[in-house]
Amino acid sequence: MTKKTNSEEFSLPQKISLKQKHLLGLEYLSKEEILLILDTAKPFKTIFTRSIKKVPTLRGRSVVLLFYEPSTRTRTSFELAAKRLSADTVNIAVQLSSVQKGESLIDTAKTLESMKSDFIVIRHSYSGAPHILAQNVSSSIINAGDGFHEHPTQGLLDIFTIREKKGKVEGLKVVIVGDILHSRVARSNLWGLTKLSARVVLCGPPTLIPKDIDKIFPQVEIEHDLDKALRNADVVNILRVQFERQLEHFFPSVREYSLLYGMTKQRLKNAKSDVLVLHPGPMNRGIEITTDVADSLNSVINEQVTNGIAVRMAVLYLLSLVNTNQ
Ligand code: CP
């Protein structure tokens, strides 16, 4: 493959723009807005093959990363995305910040706003924390994961990866397996995939499937038997067992969970031979996924991480256009 140089033309879709200057969840985006982000991420991904992986698109803008929960992928990916767009980035180490002296979330955000931060990327254990910031500060707020609610850029990068590999999303059978109850990744996938007309099947023990999920997503199927759920599957998205969020016992033992819901090579044979294996990470190898599945030819787990940067570049770029227009 020939590498592009930085002097080559960099073309981006010039169609519609996003309606809101915040990205709080895929629930609030239309199908057209989701497709706009996915289409915009494609040319941004081509930058990765260049010798200088940087464009001046967001020069002079600032992006603050405010993570109240641990993260490897999302935080690094947002920082790289912002840097590749030439924005200035600041990482707030919450453990070393005035949060430890009792400063409230809103006061922290107002302080960052006063420093003229264009974007605040927030991860918080409370569902709705990004919404509170969006109501109280003028910076663009991007949800990097709020409690059990949503993780919109993870949903977008999952769907980008599916679309890139399969050429479409509509009509694909996508099985989401594991701890749906505690998963913001599952919720963002559900909003995004159903808006793009995928056939979504949720699979997990009854205790880890939210009770009223069918009321919000009546078109989604629920199957507790993983072997049955996998039949004819085009994509399987395997969720992490979130031990840190489970305040009670949702299954008798890790061993039993693994036996019933762990993804093994043998079990994967129920799906189509070219099934895509996704996992948002971090993985509990040997619990929800075996190493031979995680590292198999069907696995696109590492590509998800790469695509995450392109998708986040697209999000920052498109939100910056909304800011400019307001
Ligand atoms: N997928 C994901 O959100 O990973 P991190 O917790 O490492 O950001």
pLDDT of residue 326: 52
pLDDT of residue 324: 57
164 & 80 share domain = no
180 & 260 share domain = yes
CB of 76 shorter than 6 A to ligand 1? no
**Distance from C-alpha of 236 to C-alpha of 7, rounded to nearest angstrom:** 40
122 & 159 share domain = no
CB of 74 shorter than 6 A to ligand 1? yes
Residue 176, CB half-sphere, CA atoms under 13 Å: how many?
31
pLDDT of residue 171: 98
CB of 282 shorter than 6 A to ligand 1? yes
158 & 300 share domain = yes
Residue 18, in any domain of the structure: no
182: CB partners within 8 A, 6+ apart: 148, 208, 242, 245, 246
137 & 160 share domain = no
Residue 164, in any domain of the structure: yes
Residue 39, in any domain of the structure: yes
- CATH number for the domain that contains residue 278: 3.40.50.1370
162 & 297 share domain = yes
CB of 266 shorter than 6 A to ligand 1? no
Residue 137, in any domain of the structure: yes
296 & 285 share domain = yes
Q: What is the pTM of this model?
A: 0.93
**What is the pLDDT tens value at each position of the chain, 326 positions in all?**
444 444 445 666 656 789 999 999 999 999 999 999 999 999 999 998 898 889 999 999 999 999 999 999 999 999 999 999 999 999 998 888 888 899 999 999 999 999 999 999 999 999 999 999 999 999 999 999 999 999 999 999 999 999 999 999 999 999 999 999 999 999 999 999 999 999 999 999 999 999 999 999 999 999 999 999 999 999 999 999 887 766 457 787 888 999 999 999 999 999 999 999 999 999 999 999 999 999 999 999 999 999 999 999 999 999 999 955 45
pLDDT of residue 242: 80
Q: How many A from CA of 15 to the centre of ligand 1?
A: 31
Residue 176, in any domain of the structure: yes
CB of 72 shorter than 6 A to ligand 1? yes
- H/E element, 261: helix 254-261
Residue 11, in any domain of the structure: no
**Domain span holding position 318:** 26-151+306-325
Residue 15, in any domain of the structure: no
Which residue, by CA, sits nearest to atom 5 of ligand 1? 71
- Best residue among 74, 240, 279 to mutate for probing ligand 1's pocket (most ligand atoms within 8 Å of CB) is 74
Q: Which atom of ligand 1 is nearest to the CA of 144?
A: 3
62 & 131 share domain = yes
pLDDT of residue 2: 43
63 & 188 share domain = no
- Best residue among 67, 69, 73 to mutate for probing ligand 1's pocket (most ligand atoms within 8 Å of CB) is 73
pLDDT of residue 99: 87
293 & 310 share domain = no
- Best residue among 69, 72, 143 to mutate for probing ligand 1's pocket (most ligand atoms within 8 Å of CB) is 72
For the chain, the domain total comes to: 2
Cβ atoms of residues 36 and 19 within 8 Å: no
Residue 37, in any domain of the structure: yes
CB of 286 shorter than 6 A to ligand 1? no
157 & 297 share domain = yes
Opening angle at CA 253, ends 174 and 145, nearest 5: 45
275 & 205 share domain = yes
